[in-house]
Every structure is written in C-alpha cells, then in structure tokens.
Structure 1
Amino acid sequence: MQTLPATRRPTRLALLIGIAATTVGIIYGYDSSNIGGAMLYLATDFNLSLDQQQLVTTTVVVGEILGAIFGGYLSNRFGRKAVMVGVAATFALFSLASGLAPTLELLILARFLLGATIGVSVVVVPVFVAESAPARSRGAFLVMYQVATVIGIILGYLIVMALAPSENWRWMLGLAAIPGLVITFVLLKLPDTPRWYLLHGRLDEARATLAGIEGEGGDVERELALIQDSMNTHKKGTWRDMLRRPFLRATLFIVGLGFFVQITGINAIVYYSPRIFEAMGFTDDVTKLGLSALVQAAGLAAVFLALAFIDRLGRRPVLLIGIGTMILANALLVTVFLVGNGTFTGALTTLGFIGLMLFTAGFSFGFGSLVWVYAGETMPTHLRSLGASTMLSANLVGNILVGSLFLTVLTRLGGSGTFLCFGILALAAFGFVLRFAPETKGRDLEEIGQFWAAGGRWNDTTGAAEKASQPRDSAQR
C-alpha cells in the first residue's frame, strides 16, 4: 500500500507560505479587539451616545463589506501576493490615521478605509493558502489563519490593558501600524500561487512554485495538468456563473455558512466583552480587559485543537462539535443572567466567565476555523476568488448586524434575552451545516469543483487523496 502522499511532510516553501500568509490574520484580529478597549475612553473624549459608539465600531465592518466585494476581482487581476502586500501596507497607514484623527468624522473615515483593506484580506488570504497548500494538509494550513486571528485579538486586548492606566485610545489604535509594516516585508518574499500563474499563462513560474510546494514525491506535471484542465473547462468566472447550475448549490451553501458564522454572535463577544463583564458587575477597566483576553485565550487553545483534528476527523465533525459547544454555552449564559437578575455573586460571575469561554472556544474550534477552510476550498479555480468574496460578504453582513445592534439588544433584553437569541440562531446553524456542508477532507481542489458540478455528489473517480490516507488497500471496497 502506498501511503507516502498522505504522510509526506510539508516542504519548507509550503510552510513559509502558510505561516507568512496567515499572519495577515494578526492584523485582522488586533483591529477587532483593540476598538473594544479603546471605546472605553474614546467615547468619553468625543462624548459619544450609544448609537455613535456602535457606529464607530461597525464602520470598519461596512468597509470590510466593500473590500470583500472587490477582493476577488483584485486578487484575479493583480495576483494573490500583490494584493496581500497592499493590504498589509495600507492597514498600517490607516491604523496610524485612526490614532491621529482629530475629529469623529475623520476617525470614522479612517476606520472605514481600514475596514476596506481588511475586507480584501479575508477574501484573498484563504484563496492564497488553499491554492498553495498540499491537499493532505490544506485544512491545517487554512486553520492557521484563525490561529493568527485569535493571537491578534489577544494581542489587542493585552496592549489596550497595558495602556488602560493612561486612557490613551490614540496609542491603542495607532500601534496596529507596527504589525502591519512587519507583515508587509514578510509577504514580499513569497511567490504567488501556481493557479494564479497559470491563469495568466506563466507556466514556468507555476511549475517552479508547485515543485517547491510539493517537494520530492510530488507529481508536479499531473497537478499542472489537472489545474489546466479545470481552467480549460471554465475559462473565466463571473457572478452569473455562481447564480446558475451547477454552482448555484455551492453559492447557497457559502452564503448561508458565511452569514451564520457572524449572526450567531462571536463579534459581540470580541467587540463588547468589556461591556458584558460590566453587566456582570465588574467595574475596573484593567480587570474587564484582562478577562476579555483570557476568554480569547480559550479560543486560541480551541483553534490548536481544530488544527490537530481538521485533517483527521474531517470538516463536518469539527464544525458540528464547535456549534454544539456554542449552543451549550448560550444555555449556560441564559441561566446565569436569569438567576443573577442584575445582581451577580461570586459563583454566578464565575459561571458567566466560563460561559463566555465556552462560547468563544466552541466558535474558534468550529466556525472560526472552518470558515477559512470552506472559503478557500469550496469553489473551482475560476470561481474561487469570487466565491470567497461572496461568502465573506455574507459573513460581514452578519457581522455588521451584530456589531450595530448588540449594545441596544443587551440594554433592552438583558443578558438572558440576548444569549437566548444567539442560542436559537446557533441551533439553526447546526441544522444548516448538518444538511448542506460537504466533507472535503483529503480532496483535491479540482475534485471539489467536480462535486458541485455533479449536483452535490462525489463520483467514483474522486477522493483519491482521501482513499490513500486510509489504513487499508485502496482497491478494497
């Protein structure tokens, strides 16, 4: 039995591409969390109302939607690598502008532009990693983006916590320019993806990059032939292609998944953890920020678990376990807020903290990890960037709804009503995934495209990589 293709370790180039590209997630995560701490002081300086606070928080997300819409086009036109370099550099620029903004209007403009760069990144990075990683370890490579994102979230909380005694929100926002600049120089050293090179007729560069990724034992010419055949079948991808058969089913899946990822409430925790802990009775800013960082540390541990299991258990089991954990966490939080009824004792506060940790861990293990996997894997080459744009645009619509309404809902319905709503949405998400999510573990990207072309069914010729990883003779049925 030949098992080498399933067990061969990633090459040095493959690891470098995976690590360097996914570090873009650090700047995404950092910006998601630092605004939650900075808002504690920014709101006072600008005398912001509740609605204005939600506006400042969600302006980034509005920009992200714009960036996500155009991210696929930019990726195809200028290259995955070039766009990522541009994203990191402009992120540094607009982060600095946010910290220096003299008026509320200029702060909102800077954060809108910052969001546009992030929106482009969340489309391009999964595509870049999916097209660069070997099929045998592609899931783990894509999950690394979530690892970097959670590290960025924790870093944002820790920096804000360190600066909390000074109450200097300008430093809290402006310091994001530093990781942006560092990541810019790291990305400059990478090649683009073999598939993008082929899209633009650059065969020699595609062959050289693919050889560096696959290493010894990889059948580079076979891979090139498969990619080229897929491109010849579908010359150019358009939005219209995604809205008709055979890829309409895939489009409905990625739109639904992207929306559920955010509407179930994770960014309410990321953006407003300090406010949630305030509702639990905490008053000290450093304590609220420190507890928020600890909640995200649980998420980071869960991502590493997902990293270990994503290419073993498969995509669907990991995703369903994560959503199930979110459902249990919501039930615990509803109970805590009902029993507490505005007055929290030590035991209830501890249970509330555990509930937030479970919620974040469940999200990071399931949705947080798998959104990048499915964004990078679901569509065939000619539609991959557009598919990622569509999925992450739906994701960001859910994000903006949560970000713009959460404080209002928390004020009017209280913690119990708010987390009851999130729990019902998580149940709906569980049913959606159970019904529609395909299992793509071990499949070549070209095979996944054939799955949708066949009406959502694997045919007898697909899954070679999956079969090779099984501990039995592949000829046995």
Structure 2
Amino acid sequence: MALPSSVLRVACMVCSAGTIFGFGIAAIAGVLPALERSFDLGLASEQRLVFSLVIACFFGALAAGPLSLRWGRRPVLWLAALVSAAANAWMLTSPSYGALVAARVLAGFSIGLLSMVAPMYAAEACTARYRGGVVCLFQLAITGGILGAYGAALAFEGQGQWHLVLGIGMVPALLLMAALVGLPESPRWLHRQGRVEESAEVVAKLGLQQEWEAAPPASASAPADWIALLRQGRVAAVLALCAGLFVLQNLSGIDGILYYAPHIFRDMGFSGERAALLATFGLGLANFLATLVGVVLVDRLGRRPLLIGGSAAMAVGLAIVVLAAFQGWPLVGLLGLCLYIVAFALSLGPLPYVMMAELFPGALRERGIAFASAVSWLFNALIALTFLSLMDAVGLATAIGLFLGVCVLSLIVSLRWVPETRGVSLEEIEARVLAGERLRRLGR
C-alpha cells in the first residue's frame, strides 16, 4: 500500500537530516591517514580532530531544546541545513588544520541540532501507524551517510583529496533545504503556542485528523513549569530511561568502531590501508542493510523485542571479536563485528531516537529530548577523545571486552524497564506517564 504524501514529505526530511548526521560523523575515519600525512598529526591530534565535531554536537543538542521551543521545529531545521552547507563548503577549500577544526565545529553544531529536532518533528507530524518507521528512517539515513563516507574514502584512497571526501557533505545539506520547502510547522508545537487555527490546518494537511480527535493534545493553557512537571508521575523516570539508552548506545562501542574502524582492522591483522578501508566499507554496508530491515520491523515486531534481542546479539558479536583478537583471526573478527553492527542497527541504533520522541510529555518534549541528545553526544565525545589511547594502553581485546559488558547491561535494562509503544498515540503515552504508570506499562 502506498504511503500518504504527507508521510513521504516528512520521510524525505528525516532521510536528508540523517544523511548529514551519518556522513558528518564518519567522513573523518577514512581520511585520518591522509590528514596524518598532510598535517604531521600524532595520536592526540587525531583524537582532537575527531573530538572537535562531536563536542560541538553536544552544544548543538543543548541549544536545540530552547531554540525549537521558542522558534518552532522548522526554523531550527533550516538553521541546521544552512550551517551544515556552509561548514562543508569550507572543508572543500582544503583549509589549514586550525580552519578544518573550526569547520568541523560548525558541522558538529548543525548535527547536534538535527539529532534532536528531526526525530521530534517526525514523531509529532506522523500518525502512530507510521511514526516508528519514519523516526527509524533517521537511523537508516545515518547508516546510509556512514556508508557514503566510507565509500568516498575508498574511492579517493591514496589520492590525497581528503577535502573532497569531507566536502561531499554539502549534498545532503542542500537536499534537506529542498525537503523543508514543502513542510509545515509541527501541529503540536503550534497548538501549544495557542495558534489553534493554524494547527488545525496543518493537522488536515498531514492527515492527523482521526488521531487528533481521538486523543486531543493538551490545551495551550497547560502549565509550562517543567521543573514541576518533572515531579509528576513517571516523568523523571522517562528522562532517566531515555538518557540511559543513549549512554548505553554510545558506550556499547559503536562510536569507537565508526570513527576508528580502519585503525581497528589494522590492529586485527588486515595488512595495508586499502584492505582496512575495504573491511570498513563492508562493515558500513552491513550496518545500512540491517537498519533497512529494522525500519520495516519496528512497527511490526515492536520496540521492546528488538531491543532485547539486539542487545543479546551485540554481546555475542563482541565476544567473537575478543576471541579473534586473542587468537589473531582477522576474518573471524570481521564477522563478529558484522554481527555486532547488524544487531546494533536493529536495536540500540535506532530505538533510543524512537523512544525519546515517543515517551516525553508534550510540555517537556523539547527539553527532555535535548537533554537526552546532549547526554548522548557527551558520551560520544568521551569515546572520540579516548578510544585510540584506550586501545593503545590496554589492547584491542580488553577495549572490546569493556564494550561487551555495556551490551550485557543494555540487555538487562531492556528486559526490566523498556515499554512497548508500538501503535500507541503520543497523547495516550503522555497520559500514562503523568498518571504514574510503571515504565514497562507506558505503552501496550
């Protein structure tokens, strides 16, 4: 059955935003050797170059909450698109090391904005029937951007054209601008601003009438004291769960693998820069294909089963990598990483974005999602700044073993606290959160 045109428009925006995200964070991985030669970088300088974008993502995510609350979702998406285009155009000029760091800070700020606002807009602009799949498209596009970044590095490998690899990020920024042209403001944001007639028009345009009438959003006069709201029902527990899922996502090892995959494969025994890049591209392809499956399954199997099964499979995959690192089996290690990546792409990759977009009450949604996103980027930055040093200090097997422990913890959290929200409207979920239902009972 064909998707409604309104859903397709939102999906195009989400895909463009996610591609900016994925390409931006992964493009550096394939060109680090070239940058090392061009600027005579040491280990610490490489980590700082990666860190510069990620810490800017943290500040972008922090800013996204108050900006999207004051201006609306659409203006913030436009700001992110314009900043991203400018940053990538700057990288195309083959800047100096300092200018490259500055350009990456700009790119990171735009990615931080998108990481919070794009999934939130998608959740607010889609019906419950399509919401999970459309929000998951954000993670699919992230993996597509990652795959594109690895492919670009492989295509230009050995040619010293690192500026072209990094500057290609302009393309999804321009696509995001094109996608935003036909999109209205979020109807839920308009309603909470007291612009009821405008919100009704947008509801009709997005095909949300039936859901809107069945469970109307809170009135514009609803209390806006978010500190007091934190004390109501299970709001604080929802905040802790969403932030915790992002901490688990980042500490499970995905960031170290995405940023430094060529380094990891060289340590595992793949000889030569091209062999490491080929293995990295294979990992990116597995990531993309598995996320594509996840988009289909999230609204069929549900959030909870995917998180539980995915966390368990991630732990098994990393256990295989640890064994392979001890035994010196590079191909077995690659298979273990592929299993880990596939499981991550079906579970801990997309689902924290879905859960945070669904669980926060409307009056706290901007601040709650901004907080969860900022926590994610803070731990992401920690991995970016320390992973190579950790691997150098304790060895690949021990470093991966630490990530294995986090995957086991993710399995425990998923079993004990994660609710099933498939097919439940945002307003129904909000009512249960405010009524104080246990976390496991917030959905179906």
Match of 1:192 among 185, 188, 194: 185
What does residue 181 of structure 1 align with? 174
The aligned amino acid for 2:312 is: G
1:212 maps to 2:205: yes
Aligned to 1:57: 50
Q: Does 1:428 align with 2:409?
A: yes
- Deviations 1:290-324 (Å, cap 9, x if unpaired)? 22121121112221222222112211111111111
Give secondary structure in 1 for the equivalent of 2:419.
coil
The number of equivalent residue pairs is: 444
> Hey, what does 2:383 align to over in structure 1?
402
Offset of residue 448 of structure 1: 1.3
Q: Pick closer, same or farther for the CA change 1:195–1:9 going to 2, 3 Å.
A: farther
Q: Determine if the alignment matches structure 1 residue 375 to structure 2 residue 360.
A: no
**Counterpart position of 2:85:** 92
Greater C-alpha Rg: 1
SS class of match (2:299): coil
State the one-letter code of the partner of 2:415: L
- The Cα offsets for residues 39-86 of structure 1, whole Å up to 9 and x where unpaired, read as 111112111110110010011111011011110111121121121122
What does residue 145 of structure 1 align with? 138
Shift in CA distance, 371/246, structure 1 to aligned 2, threshold 3 Å: closer
Q: Do residues 310 (structure 1) and 293 (structure 2) align?
A: no
| Counterpart for residue 123 of structure 1 | 116
Residue by residue over 1:275-298, the C-alpha shift from the partner in whole angstroms, topping out at 9 and shown as x without a partner, is 111112223323322221211211
- Over 3 Å counting, the alpha-carbon distance change for 1:221 and 1:109 in structure 2 is closer
Identity %: 28
| Pairing of 1:71-470 with structure 2 (within 5 A) | 71-100=64-93, 102-214=95-207, 218-219=209-210, 222=213, 226-229=216-219, 231-232=220-221, 234-236=222-224, 238=226, 241-242=229-230, 246-340=234-328, 348-457=329-438
Alpha carbons of structure 1 residues 418 and 203: separation in structure 2 relative to 1, 3 Å: same
Deviation at 1:102, TM superposition (A): 3.5
**Matching residue's letter, 1:98:** M
Deviation, 1:21, is: 2.6
**Farther-moved stretch of structure 1 (370-379 vs 448-457):** 448-457
Q: Which amino acid aligns with 2:7?
A: A
Q: What is the deviation of 1:187?
A: 1.4
RMSD: 2.1
Tell me the TM-score normalised to structure 2 length.
0.95
Deviation at 1:214, TM superposition (A): 2.3
Is the 8 Å Cα contact of residues 61 and 113 (structure 2) preserved in structure 1? yes
Letter in 1 for 2:45: Q
Residue type of the partner of 1:277? F
Please identify, of 358-367 and 177-186, the stretch whose mean Cα deviation from structure 2 is larger: 177-186
C-alpha contact (below 8 Å) 1:72/1:385 kept by paired residues: yes
1:28 matches 2:21: yes
Q: Partners of 1:62 and 1:238 in 2: how far apart?
A: 26
CA drift at 1:240: 6.1
TM-aligned CA distance change 1:228 to 1:247, over 3 Å: closer
Aligned residue in 2 for 1:11: 4
8 Å Cα contact 1:249-1:456 kept in structure 2: no
Distance 2:439 2:427 in 1: 12
Task: Pick which of 168-177 and 26-35 moved more.
Answer: 168-177
Partners of 2:438 and 2:244 in 1: CA distance: 19
Sort the Cα spacing of 1:174 and 1:243 in 2 relative to 1 into closer, same or farther, 3 A. Answer: farther
Q: Contact 2:224/2:363 (CA < 8 Å) preserved in 1?
A: yes
Q: Structure 1 stretch 97-106 or stretch 132-141: which is displaced more?
A: 97-106
Secondary structure at 1:264's aligned position in 2?
A: helix
List runs of 5+ in structure 1 lacking aligned partners. Answer: 1-7, 341-347, 467-477
Summarize deviations over 1:205-247 as a string: whole Å, max 9, x none: 32222123227xx526615x61144x54x43253564366541
| Matched residue type, 1:444 | S
Cα 1:240–1:396 change in 2 (3 A) is farther
Q: Which amino acid aligns with 1:17?
A: V
SS in 1 for 2:271: coil
Change (3 A) 1:228 1:245: closer
Distance 1:113 1:237 in 2: 32
What SS does the aligned partner of 2:349 have? helix
Deviates more, 1:300-309 or 1:86-95: 300-309
Q: Quick check: 2:234–2:438 contact (8 Å CA) kept in 1?
A: no
Q: Which runs of 5+ in 2 are unaligned?
A: none
TM-score if structure 1 supplies the norm length?
A: 0.88
Task: Measure the CA separation in 2 of the matches of 1:432 and 1:99.
Answer: 43
Q: Judge conservation of contact 1:50–1:407 (CA < 8 Å) in 2.
A: yes
